[in-house]
Amino acid sequence: MTERMGQQSFWRFGVCVLLAGALWLMPIPADLPVRGWHVFAVFIAVITSFILRPYPIGAMVIFGLVALTATGAITIQEAMSGYGDPMVWLIVAAFLLAGGIIRTGLGRRLALLLVSRLAKSPLGLGYSICGAELLLGPVVPSNTARGGGILAPIVRSLAEALDSYPTRHPERAGTYLALVGSHANLITAAMFLTGMAANPMVAQAAQAVFGVTFDWGTWALGSVVPGLVGLALLPVFIFLLAKPTLTDTRAAQAVARRELEEMGRWSRGEKIMGIVLPVLLLLWVSKPLHGMHTTLVAWIGVSVLLITNTEKWQDMVENDKAWETLIWIGGLLTMARSLKEHGFIDWFAQDVGVWFTDVSGITVVLIMALIYFYSMYSFSMLSAHIAAMGTVFLAVALGAGAPAMLTVAIFAYFSNLCGCTTNYSTGPVIIYFGLDYVSPRRWFASGFLVSLYHLAIWLGVGLIWWKMLGWW
């Protein structure tokens, strides 16, 4: 078995290598710098590997960097430069903060508090989950940690308290709650720069390709209206798709109260975390006033947790998700940057621009947005989708002369919302689906309807809001 897996991964790896080789050796257009094309060849192979998965994506990114450096397409300094980018370290800090929120128990307590207050009816239960997502969204920057680590276990225990199990009465509450939890997670992921681990990649790409600074405040400003509308209507919308047969959910409320009692009084760690997080939010939002970089603010937060012994250094060092993400996001950033620096993006945008001379930039962006959204069906990871399709999306929009801010906004928000389509799109979705309250068929069907729901809101309310902001 392991032997065969080893062989399989070796063959799938071979496909990626052949792809890179074939592209590399192709005759290339005269007006395209050779290095740009070589970076593109390796980049495409790495992205393909994210779908074929011969090796974990961190390993594949390393292979890509090694291949580019060994062939002289880029220098070792260039290859490592992504790891010195503040955006990458924002992501690392985000994982370290998220670890603290889980370990201190603050995230769990907040969610239970909301449930114990709001959850008299199934709809109230749905709102309490959305509320918890909204509270934790900006400060638990791994959506997997938030949805999968904090909320999914609570959703499960609530459903079970209502005598709703995958094999017995899933319709009573479990189906509804799993769908609400999963889709709410993606909305809050979309709403904040720190809502999903790879979001800073979007901000970085926006800067690199369009020269647009899409920082914490800008990101949240653009999402606040469509995001809140989407979150506020979600429990009702899912209610229409998967109406729970229960009407009285006070049993779940009682469970939340009991679990809160078991947690006892607020620990020192929870209190400190409860002060640090709002301060971080405040500093992120008020950047125009003090000018402190989003990354610096995040590391100030990490420092305070360390100085007050709220978090132990060893726990941070053992946060392997943080380091794995550092490796692959830093490397991808290098490649994306090299695509730009070695002229590929501009060449591509210019070439594409020729096709769109008769079409308005807005039209192109909206068409590309739909393609971008639904291309998520072929990805099993939001971040891989961003890395792979995002570059194309931005380059085409650039070529078509689309309004920069609008393009970046749609890119940013759709990068997360598109996770609604499948049951394998991102960590928390996989975990919520794994609770087993929803059949795959039903997940896909409702996912498609939710995708229309998102498009209606973000291209309806959203476009109006962004017009008001002067983004197009």
Which stretches of the chain bind its own copies, using CB under 8 A?
Answer: 6, 9-10, 13, 55-56, 58-59, 62-63, 65-66, 69-70, 76-77, 79-86, 88-89, 292-293, 295-296, 299-300, 302-303, 306-307, 309, 313-314, 317-318, 320, 322-324, 327
> Nearer Cβ to its own copies, position 173 or 197?
197
Closer residue to its own copies (CB): 10 or 355: 10
Q: Please give the C-alpha separations between residue 467 and each of 190, 227, 471, in angstroms, as whole numbers.
A: 19, 16, 6
Residue 170: C-alpha distances to residues 118, 175, 331 (Å): 22, 6, 43
Cβ pair 43, 14 in contact under 8 A: no
Q: Among residues 280 and 405, whose Cβ is nearest to its own copies?
A: 280
* Helix, strand or coil, per DSSP, at residue 82: helix
Structure tokens belonging to residue 356 = 């769109």
Please report how close the Cβ of residue 83 comes to its own copies at its closest, in angstroms: 5
CA distance 376 to 382: 8
Q: Residue 99 CB, nearest distance to its own copies (Å)?
A: 13
Asked if 435 and 178 touch (Cβ cutoff 8 Å), the reply is yes
55 versus 239: smaller Cβ distance to its own copies: 55
269 or 462: CB nearest its own copies: 269
Q: Is 91 exposed, middle or buried (0-12, 13-18, 19+ CB in 10 A)?
A: buried
Least distance in angstroms from the C-beta of 39 to its own copies: 16
**Between 29 and 291, whose beta carbon lies closer to its own copies?**
291
Tell me the C-alpha distance between 392 and 390, whole Å.
Answer: 5
The token pair that represents 161 in the structure block: 């308290």
463 vs 71: CA distance, rounded Å:
45
Q: What does the alpha-carbon distance between residue 267 and residue 256 come to, in Å, rounded to a whole number?
A: 18
Measured CA to CA, the distance from residue 240 to residue 243 in angstroms comes to: 6
- Name the minimum Å distance from CB 86 to its own copies: 5
Q: Which is nearer to its own copies, 48 or 81 (CB)?
A: 81
Cβ at position 334, least distance to its own copies in Å: 9
Minimum CB distance to its own copies, residue 328 (Å): 10
Nearest distance from C-beta of residue 329 to its own copies, angstroms: 13
